[in-house]
Structure 1
Amino acid sequence: MHGVKASVAEFGRIAEGYDAGLKAKVDLLICPPATLMSTLAVVALGTRIGIGGQDCHAKPSGAYTGDIAAEMIADTGATAVILGHSERRADHGETDAMARAKVLAAWRAGLVAILCVGETHAERDEFRALDVVRTQLAGSLPDGATAANVVIAYEPVWAIGTGRTPTIDDIAEMHGVLREELIARFGDEGAGMRLLYGGSVKPENAGEILHVPNVDGALVGGASLKAESFIAIARAYL
């Protein structure tokens, strides 16, 4: 819940920093609040920066005041939507089944689903992190997933906005397990699905995290609000 019309200028600075060197190696996607999606989709034309939504309803229309359908997101010119985010699961009681229904809705509207999974601090302390994430992935990701229609984002809930991050070994282990699960279920498609890491990614730690095996990118939170830090994270690939 960040961003008003004045934030469009910050997007312009991100576009300026997204130079030819970055475009050759890195895909950028911005997921603004719904109030800015249409505006930024127009501003983004020609920049090669994608625009996505932060959530959607499972149904295409109806009496669901305050909700937004996947078709409405697509109508703005956006191409993707974040689903099953830990904040939606924790603050709005979203279950794996609800996330799964939303992924199907995203596909129905022609959007790429960015599906989030991740454990709480208690679950990690109880040595259940791997099982929790396996269960979330199995319950939230429908059959029919491909490398083209889904991206998986691992977000250790306890690291979001806290400045804390798992160890590199922890990240490698979790992403390795996610890859194994995807390959076991989807074969070659699972091998090609992008796995993003999302948990207090900053310019200071991006270089190390983004080169961990099976980490194909980052789901960036607070550091995405400023062009300088967001582009600095992307430059970890150069």
Structure 2
Amino acid sequence: MSCALVTGASRGLGRAIAVQLAKDHGLYILVNYSSNLAAAEEALEEIRTAGGDGELLQFNVQTKTEVDGALNGWRERNEEKFISVLVNNAGITRDGLFMWMPEQDWDDVMSISAKGLFNVTQNIIQHMLRKRTGRIVNVASVSGMKGVAGQTNYSAAKGAIISATKALAQEVAKRKITVNAVAPGFITSDMTKDLNENELKQMIPMNRFGKADEVAHLVSFLCSDKAAYITGEVININGGIYS
């Protein structure tokens, strides 16, 4: 049975992506979450309501021993299942001007986004390489493409994801594994709920924030057979803000 692991899948973009993958590809979804069990259970219920299935998988992406323990343990219990799709979505923001930024805010953002990608992907990709198939989609951001004032840590973390995507794609292409990234702009979600949408949307040519399901459809396409010849790409989805 083919499975998809979506990190940070309990809310927002991650949840929308998990539901869309279940709908479009019939994948068994591993809903990763760090601490919010109630939200993760809601996400799983939404997947089942949409006609899919899956299970919860709790681990903190930034801790390699925790990631390996959870994934290796799951694999031992599910020998008939194979994670053919990985979406590295987990991430946080700790915004503030660089000159006053606490070291912990830098470390936390870099650790969850960039180190999290390393920890999870390195575990999963070993098995994709053996099976000679796989789809990896990394969730970056317009911040990683153009840099955003007040988000030096987040821009650095997402920039690292973009560069890692391009390099890793070249390493594994011969094994029919694709590695791509999507770079959303302002998307209506928990992460943007405190922003002034009326003010910010004036910067966006389409004059609105994007929707989580719009990003989810793009991720779903990149995970499909139709995208078999696309790899190492970063696809912007931002209403024209970075065009």
TM-score, reference length from structure 2: 0.37
Report the structure, 1 or 2, having the larger strand content: 2
TM-score, reference length from structure 1: 0.38
